[in-house]
Amino acid sequence: SRTQVAIVGAGPAGLMLSHLLHLRGIESVVLEARSREDIEATIRAGVLEQNTVDLMVETGVGDRLKAEGYEHHGVEFRFGGRGHRIAFDELVGRAVTVYPQHEVNKDLIARRLADGGDIRFGVSDVQVHDHLTDRPYLTYTDPQGNPQRLDARLVAGCDGSRTSTRGLIPEPQIRTDHFRQYPFAWLGILAEAPRSSEELIYARHERGFALVSTRTADVQRHYLQVDPDDDIANWSDDRIWSELHARVDGEGAEIKDGRIFEKSILQFRSFVCEPMQHGNLFLAGDAAHTVPPTGAKGLNLAVADVFVLARSMDEYLARGDRARLDGYTEEVLPRVWRAQHFSWWMSSMLHTHPGNSPFDNKRQDAELDAVTRSVAGRTLIAEQYTGWPLV
Ligand code: DHB
């Protein structure tokens, strides 16, 4: 078969790109290795920037988000046993919305299918060919085991951090040294419990960082800093709750226990692939860059990438003007790097660094104190957390 844009990956980046292209009258086909059920159920991120919310609402996929998401007008930084609020509304007049990534996927999939979109789930062996020519094509195996071919004019690699499309950008051109690891990881839980707090709490404690988040009135999402080599088998439910209490409880905050029904360990990495283009192949979202989770920038950055990519593809496909398409990397990288800095900063400022000297620990306490007591400091956090406007 033939289409204008072949998209590899049906996560937020690929689905939103397909949706935005459709609104511009451009056809696309999305190929996805996983099943629809899997994509609609896998627990991932949960915080949408104001930009992401506005884009979803403006493009007609925001109804359920508006009805079921929770708008948050601030977050709390907790240290020294006390909370310090970053008031997004007062500081920058913006907000974030807690709405899980798999719900975003559901809304985008439903809308693409209602609009006659073509998403092919459960495919395997996806390979991109001739992306340096203006007749690229993909080969893949369909769920019945039959080999297939998809011809396109442009190809988008939206296949996440375990991307295969990134590998098509050859060594001399691609920078692979924009990479950083961290001496910590997160143990994330989902629990049937009442909300512990009206707003998210980012808690720095000598026992390690803790994050109090939420999903719904009855389902809570919390995280604990753990060693990257730790094993989930070491973490009984009792140990998790007692550690959450130890790190978070204090003046004005108390963790509310419940039944844990999901727990796993997430690794921390920072990575930027540069360039994000090779011929007629364009990378977006985690295929191009990874941020550590603190500050919840990953999904939002993916949406910001495809917002630019859709417009640039349109200028080329509708008017033959390649300037913006070939400037894609340069156009999106400054935001990618700002998000890298923010995610690194939030991670560094709030976590316990194994092996830190007493001086470094005090310096870190002073950094949080300086940032939270200054209106300028809180405003910088609020601007970055709620996100830089897309245009
Ligand atoms: C969540 C994840 C984050 O990385 C974050 O900074 C805030 C919230 C979450 O999954 O709810």
Residue 354: active-site member: no
Q: Secondary structure of the chain in the HEC alphabet?
A: CECCEEEECCCHHHHHHHHHHHHCCCCEEEECCCCHHHHCCCCCCCEECHHHHHHHHHCCCCHHHHHHCEEECEEEEEECCEEEEEEHHHHHCCCEEECCHHHHHHHHHHHHHHCCCEEECCCEEEEEECCCCCCCEEEEECCCCCEEEEECCEEEECCCCCCCCHHHCCCCCCECCCEEEEEEEEEEEEEECCCCCCCCEEECCCCCCEEEEECCCCEEEEEEEECCCCCHHHCCHHHHHHHHHHHHCECCECCCCCEEEEEEEEEEEEEECECCEECCEEECHHHCEECCCCCCCHHHHHHHHHHHHHHHHHHHHHHCCCHHHHCHHHHHHHHHHHHHHHHHHHHHHHCCCCCCCHHHHHHHHHHHHHHHHCHHHHHHHHHHHHCCCCC
Under 8 Å between Cβ of 385 and 52:
no
Torsion of Cα atoms, 16 then 18 then 21 then 23, to 10° = -70
Catalytically annotated residue among 140, 202, 223, 316: 202
Residue 214 CA, ligand 1 centroid: distance in Å: 9
CATH class of 5-46+100-178+270-345: alpha beta
If one residue of 47, 297, 299 were mutated to test the ligand 1 pocket, choosing by the most ligand atoms within 8 A of its CB, it would be: 47
- Ligand 1 atom nearest residue 346's Cα: 6
pLDDT tens for residues 346-365? 999 999 999 999 999 999 99
Q: Given the residues 22, 131, 297, 351, select the one marked as catalytic.
A: 297
Q: Which residues approach ligand 1 with their CB closer than 6 A? A: 45-47, 200, 211, 213, 221, 293-296
Q: pTM above 0.90?
A: yes
Side-chain half-sphere of 322: how many Cα atoms within 13 Å? 7
For the record, the structure tokens of 43 come out as 């627990």
Predicted confidence pLDDT, tens digits, the chain (391 residues): 999 999 999 999 999 999 999 999 999 999 999 999 999 999 888 999 999 999 999 999 999 999 999 999 999 999 999 999 999 999 999 999 999 999 999 999 999 999 999 999 999 999 999 999 999 999 999 999 999 999 999 999 999 999 999 999 998 899 989 999 999 999 999 999 999 999 999 999 999 999 999 999 999 999 999 999 999 999 999 999 999 999 999 999 999 999 999 999 999 999 999 999 999 999 999 999 999 999 999 999 999 999 999 999 999 999 999 999 999 999 999 999 999 999 999 999 999 999 999 999 999 999 999 999 999 999 999 999 999 999 8
- Residue 66 falls in the annotated catalytic set: no
The preferred substitution site among 104, 197, 213, 301 for testing ligand 1, maximizing ligand atoms within 8 Å of CB, is 213
pLDDT tens digit string along 315-343? 999 999 999 999 999 999 999 999 999 99
Say which of 99, 140, 182, 385 is annotated catalytic.
Answer: 385
- Residue 286 has phi, psi (to 5 degrees) of -65, -20
Q: How far apart are CA 328 and CA 344, in angstroms?
A: 24
φ and ψ at 97, to 5 degrees?
-130, 130
Q: Check if the beta carbon of residue 105 is closer than 8 Å to that of residue 121.
A: no
CA atoms of 364 and 292, how far apart (whole Å): 19
**Residue minimizing CA distance to atom 7 of ligand 1:** 296
Residues 175 and 155: their CA atoms lie apart, in Å, by 21
Q: Which residue, by CA, sits nearest to atom 6 of ligand 1?
A: 295
Residue 297 is among the residues annotated as catalytic for this protein = yes
- Measured by CA distance, the residue closest to atom 3 of ligand 1 is 296
Domain locations in the chain as residue ranges: 5-46+100-178+270-345
Listed residue (81, 369, 86) closest to 249, CA to CA: 81
The predicted complex's ipTM stands at 0.98
Dist CA 154 CA 33 (whole Å): 20
